[in-house]
Structure 1
Amino acid sequence: MSWFLISLIAQFILGTSALADKLLLKKTFPNPVGYTFWLGIFGLISAVLLPFDFVSVSWQTLMMALVAGGAFILGMLFYFYALFYSKAGGSIVSVSGFSPIATLVFGSFFFGTVLQPYQMIGFVLLICGGFLVAFLEEKQARLWTLFFVLVAAGCLGASNVLSKQVFDAANFITGFFWIKVGGVCMVSLFLLYAPWRRALFSVSGENRFRNKKLYVLNRAYAGAGSVLVFYAISLGVPALVDAMQSIRFFIVFLGGWLFLHAKFRLRALAGEFVAFTLISVAVLLLGVGDYLERTPPDPNRSIEWGVTFSQKFSQELSRSGSTAKFGWQENYDAFLDDLGVRHLRLIAYWDLLEPQEGVFDFSGLDYQMRRAEEVGADVILAMGKKTPRWPECHAPEWAGNLEAEQFRAKLLQFEKVVISRYKNSPALKYWQVENEPFLAFGDCSTVSRELVDAEISYVRSLDAGHPILVTDSGELGLWYSSAKRGDVFGTTMYRRVYNEVLGFYEYPIGPWFFRIKEQVIRFLVQDYEKEFIVIELGMEPWLPRALRDAPLEDQLRVFDFPFFQDSIYFAKDAGFDEYYLWGVEWWYWMKIQHGDSRFWDAARELFT
């Protein structure tokens, strides 16, 4: 169960209940002692929970629960006194800013509570949003009001921290009951003070209000919200749960404008928008962080590791002018036989396979598919206008001057030949239609949605037995258009890249980015079963010029061996189950032509 979700529901209940109070009472309830007394007495209702899971506790836990309940009642007493003396709601809202701070201070000092970075950011944003709402509401403050607010915040902060310790030592029902008993004990002391005793049992005209039944129902509704707040504290960090009060008071502020027709100046509305933004960002940040903490990837899950192989790029590296030469077939055989790779993405380059119109040369791709079949590997076969490796578009020269309709017809005709040739191969796993078709990158434009849709439909008509993979950039792509079209979705995953404007830089994101993005896209396309894979995990240097021409020290400055290893850990933490590494040609080139086999050897351990 998520503390964040429980707390969010609780604050919604308490916020809407406060709105109902304003409608029913029309003004602040003028008897703080009476309000607090009956709030404490109603705590006895918690006894109805005892048959479900009540257990005995140590005397230390019992005393802590009683003190926590007493501190809560004192906090609420001063809270209602602040309400009594305040001319507006801002001083009350201020409690939502001060009490989380008190909770964090007490928790840190006495119990070593430490917030993670994202939690601290969310905490600060919630506090700022709460204070902003307070300043918008309060026209003038009294010294007594500030005193009551600070004391209330301190008592509530202490209660929150002690309650968390009680819940850690006992189950929720037991802890909650004894905390409420502590509250009953505290309000019982009110009877010892004669003026308070008279205030409790004398009902003056100003203390009467109409709609008593609705009021009682609303108190029960608010009580449910209060129970949920305690439950959220039992599950999470008290300071964060308490900071979520800002949501409640924002609901009150917004509801007063929408339903009670409260009048606000433009300045107040602008401030409200800022407060809403701060609180919304905080809620989003805490919600995302809570989700990530509750759903970590299984470190022992089965992961399939594969590679993308480019005949073109391997040939390019082998002809880099070094005395040591190797053929692309040697490179290909080496990772099949030496590394033991059994998951491949191969590329049907249009310009290699149809160098002249109607003249085909499948010798290279036939070799790759045949060897994959021999070793029992599976193959994702990419084809289209855009396919992997620079310059992204690999159309033959003869197709360069064709009109759009002619180009489309020739492309589909080429794909038909490829499909007819390989659809019965036992190695074939998926067809990949285009490569990042909706990303503007490389020496060619994006692929139109109409063309992508036409290709997908055409491939399905020719081979309904193999799923279709559509890909997008992990960091720059929106994913939605690709994910909704393909049977399988593939994302890239790069960390260090080069940009003409920024130069070399590392994306300021972690594995969490991909996990959250996946869940958002699954929600948008309403498909939680579709396979999401990493089709391109960057495992070679990204430089502004060809690797074969770049000094080795420049390459290793951008992508050294420790970064290679760290990128594997990064990928595992992203939570996918299938990864295709990008760079097997470079690893082999580093080994054969530069005598550096570290990357190659590390990859062997991964695949075996």
Structure 2
Amino acid sequence: MTAAMVTAGVATAGAIAAALVAPVAAQVRIARAARPLTDGWSGMPVAGRGATRLGLSFRPRQAEAMGLESDACLRTLLAYPFQVIRLAAYWDRIEPAPGSFQPDELDRQIDAAEQAGKDIIVCVGAVKAFGYPEFFVPGHHLPQPLREGRLVEPGHHPALLGAATGFVTQIVRRYRDRPAIVAWQVEHEAVDPLGMEHSWRLSEDFVRREVDAVRAADPTRPVLMNGFLPTSLPVAVQQGWRTRDQGDSLSVAQRLADIVGVDFYPRHALVAAAGRSVYLDGSRTPWQQRRRRRLFARAAATGKQVMVSEGQAEPWEAVTDPPSPDHAGMYSCLPEHVIGNFNQCMRWSREARSPVSAYLFWGAEYWLLRERGGDSRYLRAFQRVLECS
């Protein structure tokens, strides 16, 4: 090999490395986490929503973790003029002991939503449902922890599958005569790993059996399945590698569900130290746009709806609970992002052959926490979308 060839090889390798590093670097932000609050949100334009219906998800456990009374929170939120609310059947709460069935909390939530004139999506689980820690199997159905790094498959976990399909069937049969219920959600980000805390994953076949059970119990309503849309290259690479054997939850939702739900979080923190955090923000990258366009195109071709099942409207920092500092907001989601994230998704809807059927804001309990602390900006930004879209 000549010196010229070596030089050329080094130059080529350098160019490749630069081509890989540059997109990642463009998506990384190092910023002070707590930011001064402004009223910039109050003058932002709000995109028209057309036929898209607006709503939110309600997480009673999140409300309780924030020191709020969950039933009172729900009543407060239901007074706002949105159309759709997503509620969850948390398996370990409804079946706290073998043979028990205690749906009183969910009964109250559905009653309240019906009386407020809302349409309801019920996440029946069973294994996963929205809201930290997203895993709600009662201990008596899982005497041994699920094995890390493995798929949870029907053949290896027949008892868990039988209990899960029995639970979703019981929930659907209890509420299927409620006209306000418009869809059933099966699992939550069904086949993705459970964050960074666990590496086991539900297999597509396991989830298919649950979907079949829901449809057998109620053939009249559509099934929603949701998935996380990676908005940065590092997250996309990690997600692709960890789910390479069967595809991620969005891919499985496109195969199994009637409604494909997109969970959209444009900006989130990785690590934090000394008041600063490292953030990923790739919401406008070409990769994310391509994936999203393919998803919409396939939905249109197969007659499926697409909805934004979670539109980020609370901070995602490098801690479990979103911080709520006095007289400051968090960089990952300021009040203006409540509107900005909505606007971006409405732009998707306008350019797609299959528009967004609904947009559900994520973080309503946080808005109430902020209001209790004297900052109503998040709630008012949400209200502005309702009034101006």
User: What TM-score do the two structures reach when normalised by structure 2?
Assistant: 0.71
Higher helix proportion: 1
Residue 522 of structure 1 and its aligned partner are, at CA, apart by: 5.4
Q: 2:66 is aligned with what amino acid?
A: L
Change (3 A) 1:504 1:578: farther
Q: How far did 1:493 drift?
A: 0.5
Q: Does 1:532 align with 2:306?
A: yes
Shift of 1:393: 1.1
Structure with higher Rg: it is 1
User: How far 1:468 sits from its partner (Å)?
Assistant: 0.4
> CA-to-partner distance for each residue in 1:269-288, whole Å, 9 max, x for gaps?
xx9xx9xxx9xxxxxxxxxx
Match of 2:75 among 313, 318, 333: 333
User: Residue in 2 aligned with 1:352?
Assistant: 93
Give the counterpart letter for 2:267 in structure 1: R
Q: Which amino acid aligns with 1:569?
A: N
Residue in 2 that maps onto 1:407: 160
Q: Secondary structure at the match of 1:469?
A: strand
Q: Structure 1 residues 506 and 570 mapped into 2: Cα distance closer, same or farther (>3 Å)? A: farther
1:484 is matched with which residue?
A: 255
1:216-365 maps to which residues of 2 (within 5 A)? 299=48, 301-318=50-67, 326-337=68-79, 339-365=80-106
Q: Does the residue aligned with 2:278 lie in a helix, a strand or coil?
A: strand
Indicate the SS of the match to 1:438.
coil
Counterpart code for 1:534: V
Change (3 A) 1:501 1:541: closer
- Aligned runs of 1:425-436 on 2, under 5 Å? 425-436=178-189
State the 1:348 CA deviation.
0.6
Of the candidates 327, 334, 339, which is equivalent to residue 560 of structure 1? 334
* Paired letter, 2:381: A
Q: Which residue in 2 is equivalent to 1:474?
A: 229
**Map of 1:377 onto structure 2:** 118
From the superposition, tell whether residues 537 and 549 of structure 1 become closer, same or farther in structure 2 (CA, over 3 Å).
closer
- Residue 513 of structure 1 deviates from its aligned partner by 6.1
The amino acid of 1:310's aligned partner reads R
Q: Which moved more, 1:306-315 or 1:510-519?
A: 510-519
Which runs of structure 2 are paired with 1:173-188 in the superposition (5 Å)? none
Q: Which residue of 2 aligns with 1:458?
A: 213
CA distance in 1 between counterparts of 2:49 and 2:340 reads 18
Partner letter of residue 606 of structure 1? V
The answer to which structure, 1 or 2, has the higher relative contact order (CA under 8 A, 6+ apart) is 2
SS at match of 1:412: helix
Change in CA separation of 1:539 and 1:392 when aligned onto 2, cut-off 3 Å? same
Indicate how the Cα distance of structure 1 residues 348 and 552 shifts in structure 2: closer, same or farther if over 3 A, else same.
farther
- Whether the 8 Å CA contact 1:488–1:530 is kept in 2: the answer is yes
Q: Which runs of 5+ in 1 are unaligned?
A: 1-266, 279-297, 319-325
What corresponds to 1:367 in structure 2? 108
Is the contact between residue 511 and residue 570 of structure 1 (CA under 8 Å) also seen in structure 2?
no
Note if contact 1:346-1:381 (Cα within 8 Å) is conserved in structure 2: yes
| Structure 2 unaligned regions, length at least 5 | 1-7, 20-46, 145-155, 231-235, 240-247, 350-355
Q: Given that residues 483 and 489 in structure 1 are in contact (C-alpha distance below 8 angstroms), is that contact kept between their aligned partners in structure 2?
A: yes
How far apart are 1:464 and its partner, in Å?
Answer: 0.3
Instruction: State whether residues 49 and 346 of structure 2, in contact with CA within 8 Å, keep that contact through their aligned partners in structure 1.
Output: no
Contact 1:423 1:463 in 2 (8 A): yes
CA distance in 2, matches of 1:523, 1:602: 31
1:416 aligns with 2:169: yes
The 8 Å contact of residues 311 and 359 in structure 2, kept in 1 or not, is answered as yes
1:301: how far off? 2.2
Deviation at 1:583, TM superposition (A): 0.3
State the Cα deviation string for residues 214-271 of structure 1 (Å, max 9, x = none).
Answer: xxxxxxxxxxxxxxxxxxxxxxxxxxxxxxxxxxxxxxxxxxxxxxxxxxxxx9xxx9
CA distance in 2 between counterparts of 1:511 and 1:367 reads: 43
Q: Does 1:499 align with 2:270?
A: yes
TM-score calculated relative to the size of structure 1:
0.47
Q: Matches of 2:122 and 2:76 in 1, distance apart? A: 20
State the partner residue of 1:82: none
Aligned-residue offset at 1:515: 5.7
Q: Say if 1:449 and 1:556 are closer, same or farther in 2 by CA, change over 3 A.
A: same
- The corresponding residue for 1:392 is 134
The correspondence of residues 432-451 of structure 1 with structure 2, limited to 5 A, is 432-442=185-195, 443-444=197-198, 445-451=200-206
Deviation at 1:463, TM superposition (A): 0.8
Q: How far, CA to CA, are the matches of 1:367 and 1:336 in structure 2?
A: 13
Report whether the alignment pairs 1:595 with 2:350: no
Give the equivalent residue in structure 2 for 1:605: 384
Give the 3 Å change call, closer, same or farther, for CA 474–453 of structure 1 in structure 2.
same
Q: Aligned letter for 1:405?
A: P
CA distance in 2, matches of 1:394, 1:373: 25
CA contact 2:269–2:278 (8 Å) conserved in 1: yes
CA drift at 1:512: 7.2
Match of 1:596, as an amino acid?
A: D
Q: CA RMSD in A?
A: 2.9
Structure with greater proportional strand content:
2
| Residues 548/570 of structure 1: CA separation in 2 closer, same or farther (3 Å cut) | closer
Return closer, same or farther for 1:514/1:345 CA change in 2, 3 Å cut-off: farther
